[in-house]
Amino acid sequence: MNQRGTTLIEVLAVISMITVLFSIGVGALMASHKRTAFGNEVADAEQRIEETQSMSRTSVRGLKWGMECNGATFTRFGITSTGVRSVEEATLLPSGVNCNLAPGTVIFAKLTGVPDTNATLTLTRGTQSALLTIAQPGIIDAHIQ
- Predicted pLDDT of residue 21: 85
**pLDDT given for residue 35 in this prediction:** 67
| pLDDT value at 37 more than 90 | no
Report the pLDDT averaged over residues 64-73. Answer: 91
Structural contact between residues 66 and 105, judged by C-beta atoms closer than 8 angstroms: yes
Average pLDDT of every residue of the chain: 85
- Judge whether residue 34 has pLDDT over 70: no
pLDDT, residue 1, reads 57
Is 36 a residue whose pLDDT tops 80? no
Phi, psi dihedral angles at 32 (to 5 degrees): -65, -40
Say if residue 4's pLDDT is above 60: yes
Report the pLDDT averaged over residues 11-36.
80
Q: Tell me the pTM.
A: 0.72
> Which domains are delineated in the chain?
8-144 (3.55.40.10)
The answer on pLDDT for 94 being more than 60 is yes
CA distances, 16 to each of 9, 57, 60, 127 (Å): 10, 62, 63, 32
CA 127 to CA 31: how far, in whole Å?
Answer: 12
